[in-house]
Amino acid sequence: MRRNPAPLDLALVEAFCNTAVHLHGQDDLAVPATAAEWLRAHGFPALRGEREIKALIDARETIRAFIAERTDPEAIRSLNRLIASASGPPAVRADGTFALRAATADPVTGVICTVLGVLLNRGLTGHGTRLKSCAAPECQWVFYDRAPSANGLWCDMNICGSRHKMRAYRTRTSSAEPPAPPARA
């Protein structure tokens, strides 16, 4: 996708959510080698097994669903369940932000708490609401909306936006009645 990465620490949330590229059927977390590479690149320890990978994928999809629809009651409930299962009480840092303390010492919980902590801290400042999921259901790429009005819908207008416009055009033209043949003299 062609958008610039999210600023500050929101880039971690964006990168975490985009470990799955639904448009191409890729999931970096589902393959142990690419999962280990992503975790290492972002300063996290390696995972030990399939159950940890599944937990990380489930957490990613919960976070992605919340980003896609922040007002959906089920997305909010799921995110709250994830927070409750992964973290203990938050800790306030010297700079006034807070960190979620992992409820257990396992690496998955550490990753989840770090990503959730960033998302929640940036949500308090208003920056987190600019992190969005592409409106194309087959894509769902997470991007940072830099538009002044913060009304972006597509991860890339040339890809997903164009597809949407073409589908809408085809729907309009296919439902229109064909023109009547010209009258003969």
Tens digit of each residue's pLDDT (9 = 90 or more) over 117-171: 999 988 877 788 899 999 888 888 999 998 888 888 878 766 676 665 666 656 6
Q: Which two tokens stand for residue 178?
A: 């064909």
C-beta of residue 130 within 8 angstroms of C-beta of residue 5: no
Give the model's pLDDT for residue 11: 95
Residue 14 has pLDDT above 90, yes or no: yes
Listed residue (101, 29, 111, 16) closest to 64, CA to CA:
16
> What count of Cα atoms within 13 Å lies in the side-chain half-sphere of residue 119?
26
Please report where in the chains the tokens 């296919």 appear, as a residue: 174
Size of the chain, expressed as the number of residues it contains: 185
Cα dihedral across residues 100, 105, 111, 112: positive or negative: negative
pTM of the model: 0.83
Higher pLDDT, 127 or 2: 127
Residue 116 has pLDDT above 60, yes or no: yes
Q: What is the tally of helices (H) and strands (E) in the chain? A: 6, 6
pLDDT band at 63 (very low <50, low <70, confident <90, very high): very high
Give the model's pLDDT for residue 151: 84
Give the model's pLDDT for residue 161: 61
* Mean of all residue pLDDT scores within the chain: 86
Residue 185 has pLDDT above 60, yes or no: no
E-assigned strand segments in 54-136: 87-92, 98-102, 131-133
Least confident of 4-8, 82-86, 161-165: 161-165
Give the model's pLDDT for residue 36: 94
Q: Please report, rounded to a whole number, the percentage of residues in the chain having pLDDT higher than 70.
A: 85
How close are the terminal C-alpha atoms of the chain, in Å? 57
Q: Please report, rounded to a whole number, the percentage of residues in the chain having pLDDT higher than 90.
A: 50
Higher pLDDT, 40 or 93: 40
Give the model's pLDDT for residue 127: 82
Which domains can be identified in the chain, with CATH numbers? 10-175 (1.10.3300.10)
